[in-house]
Amino acid sequence: MTIKRRRFLSTFGLAAVASQISPLAAQGKLTPNTILKPPRLQVGDTVGLIAPAGIVDANDLEAAKESLLKLGLKVKQGAHILDRYGYLAGKDADRAKDVNAMFSDRSVKAIIAMRGGWGCSRILPLINYPLIRSHPKIFMGYSDITSLLLAITARSRVITFHGPVALSTWNQFTVDYLKQILFNGEAVTMQNLNSNEVAVEIVAPGKARGRLVGGNLSVLSAMVGSPYLPSWNKSILFIEEIGEDVYRVDRMLTQLKTAGILNQLVGFIFGQCTDCQLGDEPSFSLMQVLQDHILPLNIPAWYGSMIGHVKDKFTLPIGLQVEIDANLGTIQMLETAVS
């Protein structure tokens, strides 16, 4: 692709966004930097299922459909959801096509990823961000889906949701938060179900307000330097991880630090580090690593929120203003996340 062509496409993309929002902008209601809230879900709505990352089999697909039907939702599956290409659920172009198709399909009111794995970052350049801006919808997932959540929030300026994938455990805790936030449009305060089961460990006490941003640590750190990350200025960062030795968590946090991200934050939450080991001895504990990186920032921070590869999950609106209390381990939404 020539330089002129790249400039044209870049300019065209920005112009497309501007043209789609100009009527409202003229009324003083919307600007290109306004973060849009997708419409709320209602019983009877159709949810689009896609596989933008790892492989999905037919049994998993049927199980996911059954879970969503129990919530009173209809299901429409992506055209390529059962494709296979190596360890990916189809070729990059086809997985991206399913994402774009679900946003353009007016019968689909929300989009949920089947699972994580790996592959979402490969399709980021193929996503139609102006289309998403003009057709905002609930888009939800976690783990590898982090890259799509952050890219859509950054490039389309639409709130996305770090929550269960279709193959998650749809238990009462998870469903209650999802219904309150996505169906009822409530501004809830999220707090751990049982402090004895998952204890909140305070890294630094205090309260803070800011825009909530985050996801899987390894996915996020691998995106540093790309054009698909949102602004970190006065943000509250939440992260989660699974199956990483503590020294690797240290390495990824160091990358965020040297990239100038950590010093822009007003708050920090480490959800769960599931199956994270000390690794080769001698080693720091995870809390020692967090204290090394986070304490010098002088911001409220804690470990142990119900975020990540755990059965009980919050539904976190990425891009929304929240207030956190590190002493209590709470995340309070300051406004609704859906329209």
Active site residue 309: yes
- Let me know: does 64 contact 154? Beta carbons within 8 Å: no
Catalytic residue among 143, 147, 218, 305: 143
Distance, CA of 185 to CA of 51 (rounded, Å): 27
Active site residue 240: yes
- Let me know: does 123 contact 291? Beta carbons within 8 Å: no
Catalytic residue among 147, 162, 218, 240: 240
Distance, CA of 115 to CA of 42 (rounded, Å): 23
Phi, psi of 215 (to 5 degrees): 150, -150
Active site residue 221: no
Q: Where in the sequence numbering do the catalytic residues fall?
A: 143, 240, 309
